[in-house]
Every structure is written in C-alpha cells, then in structure tokens.
Chain A
Amino acid sequence: MDLTLVGQGLLSGVLFGGVYSLMAVGLTLIFGVMRVVNFAHGDMMVWGMYLAWMLATRAGIDPYVGFPVCAAVLFTLGWAVQRGLVHRIVDAPHEMQILLMLGVALVLENAALVAFGPDPQRVRSPLTASTLWLGPLFVDVGRLVTFGVALALTGALWVFLGHTDLGRRIRAASDNPYGALVIGTDVGRVYAIAFGIGAACVGAAGALVSPILPFQPAGGLSLSVASFNIVIIGGMGSLLGAFVGGLLVSVAESLGAVFLAPSMKELVSFSLLIVILLLRPAGLFGRRAA
C-alpha cells in the first residue's frame, strides 16, 4: 500500500473536514435550538457563495476578507425566514416544516438560477493558488485557511452560546421553551436570532469555500444532504459534534476514495450514517432528542 497516498488522503481529508464542519455548524445550531430541519440549508450556502462571487467580481474583495458581509446578508435572510415563515408553524407537524423549508429551497435555488444563470462558477483567490509542501505531502493553503477559520468560528460560537447573555437565553429557549417564556424571554425573538446566526454561519461557509468548490444553483440539494449526514453523525444540536462530524465524514470519504473506487465514497458516508442512526442516533456528541 502506498503510504504516501494514504497519508495524503488523511491530510486532505482532515483539511477538507474544516469545510464540512463549517457547513454543518449552522445547521446543527438551527436544529438544536428550535428543532427545525433546514432543508434550504444547501441553497442558503449556494447564495453565500454567489454573494462572495459578486463581491469578488464587482468590488474586488477577496472572499477571505469579505465573508463577514456574506454572513451578515444571510443573517438577515435567516432572521426573516424564521420570523416571517417558520415562526407561524413552529407547533405544526414535522411534514409541514419540511415542506416549508423545501419550498424555501426551491425559491432560493431558482432565484439564483434566474439571477446568475446555470453555469458553474468559482471565485479566484490568490490563497487557493498556493500550496505548502511537507516532504511528499502537500497542503492546500486555501483549505488550511478555511480550516482555521472554521475552528475559530466554531470556537467563537461556543463562547457566545456559553458565556454571553443572549447566548444563554438561546440555550435556555432551546432546552425548555416554556420555561424560558416563564422567565420573560421573548422566545420568538430568540428563535429568530438563532436562525439568523445559523444562516450567517452557512453564509460564511459558502463564502469561504467559494474559491475551493465550483458552485451552481442546482448544487444546493447535494450540499444539504451532505450537511445532514455530518450533523446526524456528529450529533444534532452539538457544535462539537458538527465540527468532529465534519472531520470524520471527510476523512472517511477520503480514505474511501483511496481504498475503494472513488465513486463509491458517498457510499461510505451513507453507510456510516445508517450505523450511527441505528446504534447511536444522538450522534457522537448529541443529546437524545426530547
């Protein structure tokens, strides 16, 4: 067995895991707080990518610099979606919620199609053109930076949720909405902010991967499915779970590509998903759903 290949597979897997983690963090937050399954997740991310593309091509702003703008725009979108749409059906059966977000996904995907056309795009950034070499193994600088930002963002979110007033209120509202109401929390507002933050995360993720992944309007669906995979494996509602899940899935897929036929690498992640669902549906770090 070619050890270099395995080593490279591992390294690439870990680095790309940063991308996956970033994708998953926003999703897990939204589900963890209000048990809403955001089926429009992938399409929101695609919009994050297109926003970054617009910034790069119209204003010359590199996505590694401009991602907070994308995050802010997506925050507003997420907040509006929650306030205007999701809030109304927060007590409705699951199917309704799924359908609603599917409708949002359809609208987002095709709005992108009308606005930007169907061709795949990619953002050029000087960072992604460079590589670092560690002996026979190479490190993609763009992915390294994304990995670092993912780590930083996840850490920042953790601090926010654990040590700020607003963060604590969000956690309270997620653990026990009625209790939170009793002590005077505006649960609706909290939910809207949480959704906004979740969307902002995914917007930042989109911006940060726009130089790495080619994107097109139809790509949202596969991004959504990949994100669900990660979040389930890592544990719904757990930030650490999203982060570790992202790494795990990425490494598993990467090693799968080394040892099996690369076209079967998705098989690895779906099989992993089934195993986790059956043996430990809470995922590696999640709490059991109430």
Chain B
Amino acid sequence: MTVPRVAALVVVLALAALPAVLSSYAVTVFIFIFFYAYLGQAWNLLGGYAGQLSAGHAAFVGLGAYTAAMLSMTLGLTPWVGMFVGGALAAALGALIAYLGFRFGLRGFYFVLLTVAFAEIGRIVALNTDAVGGALGLYITFTGNPRQFQFQDNRAYYYVALVMMLAATALVAALERRRFGEYLKAIREDENACEALGVDTFRYKLLAMVLSSFLTGVGGTFYAYYLFSLQPNAVFGIPLSVEIMIRPIVGGAGTALGPVLGSFILSPLGELSRVYLSQGAWSGLHLIVYGVLLIVVVLFFPQGAYPTLLKLGGSMSRSSPKPPHRI
C-alpha cells in the first residue's frame, strides 16, 4: 500500500472511532462537516472537474428533500427508497438545465445565471404551492424510527453522513482516474480544443451534471430527515447554494479531497467565529470574519487549500492539479 493510501485508511478509521469520545455537540459539528462535504463533492463533479459553475445546486437539494418527504408523508414510502426517487427527479431537472444550457452554448457566467434562475423559480413555485406546504413548508415528525431514516441517537446520523461523504469522495476519485474524468478535465481546460478534436463535450458535460444533481438530490433527503423541516427559502435559497459551492472552491475545485478539506476548514471556522464573536452589540462580526477569510483565501490561495498544501509538501503525487483556465 502506498503512503497516501495508508494515511487515508488511518484517517477513516480515526473518524469512525471519534464518536466514542466526542460530545453530542461535537458530533453534530462533524455531521455538518461531512454533509456539506458530501454536497460539495457532488457539486465538484460539475463545477470542479467539468468546470461548469453552478450557483443553483440548492434546487436539487430542495427537489430531493421535498420528494422524499412528500412520498413519506402521503404514501408512507420509506425515505430509504424515497431518497433515490428524489435523486432521480433531481437528475431529471439537472438534465433539463444542462440540456438547455449546453445546447444553447451557455458558458461561464451565463451558465451560472441559468442555474440561479432555475433555483429561484423552484423556490417561488414551492413557496406558492399549497400542496407542498407553501411558505409554511413541510414539518416532519420526529419518531427516531430508523425505517423512516431517523435515529434516536445522534451518532447514527454521524455514521450515515460519514459514509455518504466517503462514498462520494471514492466515486469522484475513481472517476478522476478514468477516461470520463480525463475528458472532464480536458473540457475544463479548453472546451473549444476538445470540440475541435472531436470529443462530444455536450455528452460529457451533461453526464457530469446528471451525476452531480442525482447525488445532490439524494443529499436532500438527509437534510430533510436531520433538520425536520423544509422551507422553500432555506432549502432552495441562494445561501444554501453558496454553502455548497464554497467548500470545494476553498478546498480545491477539481480535486477529490478538495471539498472534504474545504469543509474541514470552513465549518469549524464558521462555528468558532459564531460562538466567540456573536455577542450582543457585535452580532454580525463573525460573518465579517467569514467574509475576510474568503477574501484572503481567494487572494493568496486561489487554487484552494489542497493543491497549495501539496505544493508546500513538495508533492510527488501523480497528478498535481493545474489551475483551470478562464472560460
């Protein structure tokens, strides 16, 4: 086994053992680290590897969450199955957006706006549709019943989130080494050249989006059954899309470990700055710190934390990621 593989195994085992010594509060913090890393990893496929930025991924979270919740509440379908239905619907929406966007040749900022527009439309529709609760949203009864994807013990959620994050990361790492991953990276570097060489860029970008949106939709179910309420503004909103995007970008877009590292940096940071700095008259100060940190990372570590760390560590790893060119 190579050194990185051993290191990875050690880390995974350590993470698996942690809940035995952590308080429930720390377990919750880790759950969100894993969960947002998972969502970020799903985003990474499209935004990092394929280089197609989406600022509307919350739409898939929302669609997946509402689907699973509605199926459970009206048909009694267990969310363990509902999550895949939600993922499938999210994938269908992703295919639609990708089809429209890529068929009409939208790139860069224009594609970003298209994703935002769809997410906002999703939000407004959910807000105005009484059948899914309208603005009040959906409230899920806490039963702690595992058959309903709920657990009485917080630590069970920890393991679910950990498995989700690891599975997504393993998937992305595997895809990275295959032709699919190479094509995506090539498209990101220079889409025109790829087309000139006869690569069906449309098909690969579409596939990336479908996979990305499917995974995100599945994640929506976790959201629903950990937070127990779905409101259109929270679950379709731009702030959630931002949370999803930020981690891979800060950690290293287009690398398998980027979203994970990004989540491990940003979540604790957000936590610490809220706990220490949100007292009384200075409430809001912690978000200023968050903003300043973002600026600092962008200015001084633009490729993200992971590639920077690799460089610092005198990397000898196979593929040192190059910064994606402007589209």
- A interface residues with partner B (beta carbon < 8 Å): 37, 85, 88-89, 91-96, 98-100, 102-107, 109-111, 113-114, 217, 221, 225, 228, 232, 261, 263-264, 266-267, 270-271, 273-274, 277-279, 281, 289
Contact = CB atoms under 8 A, between A and B. Distances in A.
B294 A270 contact: no
A111 B323 CA distance: 33
Contacts of A281: 104-106, 110
Main secondary structure, interface of B, reads: helix
B287 A110 contact: yes
A221 B297 CA distance: 22
Main secondary structure, interface of A, reads: helix
B295 A110 contact: no
Interface stretch (B83-91, B119-127, B211-219): B119-127
Nearest to B297: A99
For the complex of A and B, list the 3 residue pairs with the smallest distance between their C-beta atoms, beginning with the closest: A106-B291, A103-B294, A113-B284
A103 B298 contact: yes
Contact of A274 (B117, B281, B284, B299): B117
B302 A92 contact: yes
Given A99-B294, A106-B287, A271-B121, A263 B302 contact: no
A94 B288 contact: no
B114 A274 contact: yes
Given A95-B249, A225-B238, A267-B124, 19 more contacts: A85-B299, A89-B302, A91-B326, A92-B326, A93-B323, A94-B109, A94-B326, A95-B253, A99-B297, A102-B246, A103-B292, A104-B295, A106-B290, A111-B284, A217-B284, A228-B116, A277-B113, A277-B114, A281-B110
A96 B249 CA distance: 8
Contacts of A267: 121, 124-125
Contacts of A264: 124, 128
A151 B245 CA distance: 38
A131 B299 CA distance: 50
Contact of B116 (A85, A92, A225, A279): A225
A250 to B, nearest CB: 17
Contact of A93 (B55, B291, B326): B326
A228 B124 CA distance: 18
20 contacts: A85-B299, A92-B298, A92-B323, A94-B53, A94-B108, A99-B250, A102-B291, A103-B295, A104-B291, A105-B291, A107-B291, A110-B285, A110-B291, A114-B284, A266-B124, A270-B124, A273-B113, A274-B100, A278-B114, A289-B109
Nearest to B127: A263
A100 B299 contact: yes
B282 interface: yes
Interface residues of B, number: 52
Contact of B298 (A100, A105, A271): A100
Contact of B288 (A99, A110, A261, A266): A110
B242 A102 contact: yes
A263 B232 CA distance: 14
B291 A232 contact: no
B152 interface: no
A157 to B, nearest CB: 22
Contacts of B325: 93
Interface in B293-327: 293-295, 297-299, 302, 323-327
B121 A107 contact: no
B283 interface: yes
A221 B238 contact: yes
B17 to A, nearest CB: 34
B295 A95 contact: no
A95 B53 contact: yes
Contact of B295 (A94, A100, A221, A273): A100
